[in-house]
Amino acid sequence: MLRISKENYIPSLLIVALSGWLVPGAGHFILEEKKRAIIIFVTIVITFLTGLYVGSIGVIDPVGAWPWYLAQIMNSPAVVVIGHLTAAGTYPVYGRPNEIGQIYTSIAGLLNLLCIINAVYLAHLRRAETTGE
């Protein structure tokens, strides 16, 4: 379990946030919320993979669809790698599959952002409980 004290308060919150971004649910896993972490991981990964399945990896487009990309990048750093591959435009996707894929992958990213915020908040509450604030 991550011990959050007065000395390591900010670094602990950053560790929780970054781990939750690297792997969805990892922030909760560090806080020993294992069931919640598994549910978060499965939900976000399935939603993201469904978006990729429907629209192909071409839905991650950092150049032509950068507003969607900002939401998608909240999934994990793997989106940056996929975005680098698709930036050249070698995976064009048009029509409904593109739109639906972008929606699914973006919703997965924004859901992960909410889970990261929740994990940081839980870490903050645990510090407040141990210090008596």
Tokens standing for residue 112: 């992960």
Q: How far apart are CA 60 and CA 72, in angstroms?
A: 7
pLDDT in tens, the chain (133 residues): 666 666 778 888 999 999 999 999 999 999 999 999 999 999 999 999 999 999 999 899 898 888 999 999 999 999 999 999 888 777 778 788 889 999 999 999 999 999 999 999 999 988 766 665 5
pTM of the model: 0.88
